[in-house]
Copies of this chain bind each other. A is one copy, B any other.
């Protein structure tokens, strides 16, 4: 059983929380009832979707009951008090194991709460389950399937978070992105998601790399923002960073006057149907008075496009270098439980020197300079969130070379990761019955502003279905 045979953005109704809480105060509904409906969806769909690495029904029910009492008493801890939230299985949770999608980490159960998990509990959220991650946040996939077609990937590495929201298991889930791990799976699964500015949400124990972030997937932009701000207002940003700030309710929809359309290396890798859908969307934006600027329109846009050539390799190599000791230790100690994909990556990066790494950082600085200098020219960057719908994933074939991108292509995601920039993906396109997201990206610190633009686009522009 799957949720839908074809995704139709005009008819698809994601699970939402923000419009459910009014009934909690008058007792016509409750967080416990809400949770039970989620569990019913899990019972029906999880055998195919396989979004969970761990699920703790009884602690979730106890937390939902406590929340029910608070709402009845008129004293919810926050607007997300009682919200069932999934946690990507890279982040530590004190009441469930943290196994990082990696066989070598089987049974790992540090009984700690990541800073964001701590903040969610402080806000009253129900920590519902651990959602499947691709191995160690890389691209070696777990068992999760795409809720709109089980023969396809849900994307990665936040595979379970994206699929759980799309399957209606929960209104929001925490993902994380180093290269493309929040925005891409969300886009393949028809979710909203925020990849925060670098440092926007405290990463707790996960500080190892210079461009990873934690951020929410959600069925609505309201829930997406509410989760982000409830977390950030409690645990703040990364060490040394101010972190996400902004209104304590969803930012008011704001019309962008000018958007810079970024092609990146992804433009040429995107199928004709998706391009046709994007063309129609851009036309629709123009008809509402939004000016679309692109590489021919301004030399600095061209400069940024050129700085973005090879962005995927650049991002992957920087991160692989930063993870090399962690991965080397893991391989040396428990190599049997580490995939060949990870081993191959470590082998490549161990040939690099600190001077090679410094060169990569300098390329990233170059790119950031062009990104920043374009701030005055337009309100935001705009492009696909993924190069077409989620690809088929039949699994690796024993004896054959490993498939290069089993969780899809992060080509449209590495630019904002490299820039340290906030990105919001919006489910605006359907291509051959599958979701394809589009994203707005801003300058560091523009998280609330990008949410406001995304909200305007979603409210004012009709989604486009092609194929």
- The listed residue (B94, B118, B239, B326) touching A208 by CB distance below 8 A is B239
Residue contact B232 to A333, C-beta cutoff 8 Å = no
* Cβ–Cβ < 8 Å partners of A236 in chain B: 354, 357-358
Judge if A205 is at the interface, Cβ distance under 8 Å. yes
Instruction: Across the interface, name the chain B residue whose C-beta is closest to A204.
Output: B325
Q: How large is the interface on A (under 10, 10 to 19, 20 to 34, 35 or more residues)?
A: 35 or more
Within A394-413, which residues are at the interface with B (CB < 8 Å)?
none
Judge if A233 is at the interface, Cβ distance under 8 Å. yes
Q: Shortest beta-carbon distance, A31 to chain B, in Å?
A: 25
Give CA–CA (A399, B112) in the complex, Å: 32
Give CA–CA (A326, B118) in the complex, Å: 11
- The listed residue (B110, B114, B243, B354) touching A233 by CB distance below 8 A is B354
Residue contact A207 to B208, C-beta cutoff 8 Å = yes
Give CA–CA (A328, B322) in the complex, Å: 27
* Cβ–Cβ < 8 Å partners of A325 in chain B: 112-115, 118, 202, 204-205, 235
Judge if A210 is at the interface, Cβ distance under 8 Å. yes
Query: Per-residue CB proximity of A208-245 to B under 8 Å, as 1/0?
Result: 11110000000000000000000011111101111100
Q: Shortest beta-carbon distance, A229 to chain B, in Å?
A: 11
- The listed residue (B204, B234, B239, B357) touching A210 by CB distance below 8 A is B239
Residue contact A112 to B235, C-beta cutoff 8 Å = no
Judge if A57 is at the interface, Cβ distance under 8 Å. no
Give CA–CA (A115, B324) in the complex, Å: 9
Residue contact B354 to A243, C-beta cutoff 8 Å = yes
Instruction: Across the interface, name the chain B residue whose C-beta is closest to A352.
Output: B236
Residue contact A210 to B240, C-beta cutoff 8 Å = yes
Judge if A361 is at the interface, Cβ distance under 8 Å. yes
Instruction: Across the interface, name the chain B residue whose C-beta is closest to A324.
Output: B115
Within A228-264, which residues are at the interface with B (CB < 8 Å)?
232-237, 239-243
Within A91-147, which residues are at the interface with B (CB < 8 Å)?
94, 110-115, 118
Give CA–CA (A406, B236) in the complex, Å: 32
Q: Shortest beta-carbon distance, A351 to chain B, in Å?
A: 13
Judge if A28 is at the interface, Cβ distance under 8 Å. no
Instruction: Across the interface, name the chain B residue whose C-beta is closest to A115.
Output: B325
Q: Interface on A for B, CB 8 Å cutoff?
A: 94, 110-115, 118, 202, 204-205, 207-211, 232-237, 239-243, 322, 325-326, 328-329, 332-333, 354, 357-358, 361
A-B CB contact pairs (8 Å), 27 listed: A94-B332, A110-B329, A111-B333, A112-B326, A112-B333, A113-B325, A114-B325, A118-B325, A202-B325, A204-B325, A205-B326, A207-B207, A207-B208, A210-B239, A210-B240, A211-B240, A232-B354, A233-B354, A234-B354, A235-B354, A236-B357, A236-B358, A237-B354, A240-B361, A242-B358, A243-B354, A243-B358
